[in-house]
Structures are given as C-alpha cells and as structure tokens.
C-alpha cells in the first residue's frame, strides 16, 4: 500500500509539472551562420511583455549599422519603416543589446527574423537570423 501511495504522489507531481511547463511560453532562439550572434526573443517574467536581445560571442568589437526585426515578413521594430530608405546607425556591441519589445506572445506558426548589418574592422557583413521556438 505504501508503494502505491508513493507512486500516486510521483504521478500527480509529474503530471502537475508537465501541465505547468506546457503552459509556459517558449523562447524563440536563432543563431547567425557563423555562430557569432545569438538572438533570443522571450517573455519577461510573468508579464505579457516579450523582448528580444542580441548577443555577440565572437572576438573583436562589431559595430551594428542596421537592424530590423520582422514578424511574418512585416517590419516590427528596428531601423527605418517599410518602404523608406534604410536609416543607418553606429552602435558598438559590448555584450548584448535589446532589439524589440512587444506585448503579446508570437504564435508557433509565425516567422520571426532579425536582419542585421554590421562591420568588424573594415569588413561589412549582412545576416538574416531566423528565430524558432
């Protein structure tokens, strides 16, 4: 009888943990082809605010000249507006920077992309980082 009680407690705890974890939103993560950039789009605590951070893990000091965050191909945040001339920036990256902040969770069928232009020394780079849940 004692073994059955312990088994029931373990099953109830496991089921509760499974339900809790399945209700938690998924983080969206993407990496650049060279692995130097990691983009993370996640929920802030228990609030409904979602935000994206871009992390640099390469050597050197890159300077971001353009960034744009798109959801389902539509401009959502970043430099410039759809159809306008690209606005350039000169943002030195030391560890991580925020690229977006919104109020609702993306659907798993959504497509999230971060378009990034940066320079490292005299070399210019362009990257499209696709984020996935």
The better pLDDT of the pair 16, 62 is held by: 62
Write out the DSSP string of 70-113: EETTEEEEESS-TTSPPPP--EE-SSEEEEEEESSPPPTT--EE
Given pLDDT bands bounded at 50, 70 and 90, which one contains residue 124? Answer: very high
Residue 86 maps to a domain? yes
14: buried, middle or exposed (CB in 10 Å: 19+, 13-18, 0-12)? exposed
Check whether 84 has a pLDDT greater than 50: no
Q: How many CB atoms lie within 10 A of CB 115?
A: 17
Residue appearing with tokens 């605010």: 49
Q: Is residue 12 part of a domain?
A: no
Domain hosting residue 31, numbered range:
26-131
Tokens of 40: 């993370």
| Mean pLDDT lowest among 84-93, 97-106, 109-118 | 84-93
Q: Would you say residue 4 lies in a domain?
A: no
pLDDT for 126: 92
Contact 64, 117 (CB under 8 A): yes
Residue 106 in any domain: the answer is yes
Give the number of domains in the chain: 1
Q: Is the pLDDT of residue 46 over 80?
A: no
**pLDDT-derived band of residue 80, with 50, 70 and 90 as boundaries?**
low
Whole-number pLDDT of residue 21: 47
Percent of the chain with pLDDT over 90: 27
Mean pLDDT value of segment 105-124: 89
Residue 19 lies in a domain: no
Closest CA to 55 of 112, 93, 102, 90: 93
Domain of 39: which CATH number? Answer: 2.60.40
Please report whether residue 21 resides in a domain: no
Residue positions counted in the chain: 133
| Calpha distance 98→10 (Å, rounded) | 41
């Amino acid at each position: 009888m004692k073994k059955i009680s312990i088994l029931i407690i373990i099953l109830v705890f496991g089921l509760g943990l499974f339900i809790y974890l399945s209700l938690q939103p998924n983080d969206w993560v993407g990496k650049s082809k060279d692995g130097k950039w990691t983009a993370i789009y996640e929920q802030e605590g228990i609030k409904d605010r979602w935000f994206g951070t871009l992390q640099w893990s390469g050597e050197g000091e890159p300077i971001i000249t353009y960034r744009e965050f798109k959801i389902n191909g539509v401009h959502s945040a970043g430099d410039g507006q759809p159809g306008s001339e690209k606005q350039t920036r000169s943002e030195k990256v030391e560890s991580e920077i925020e690229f977006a902040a919104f109020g609702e969770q993306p659907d798993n069928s959504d497509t999230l992309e971060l378009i990034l232009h940066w320079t490292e020394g005299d070399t210019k780079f362009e990257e499209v980082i696709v984020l996935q849940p």
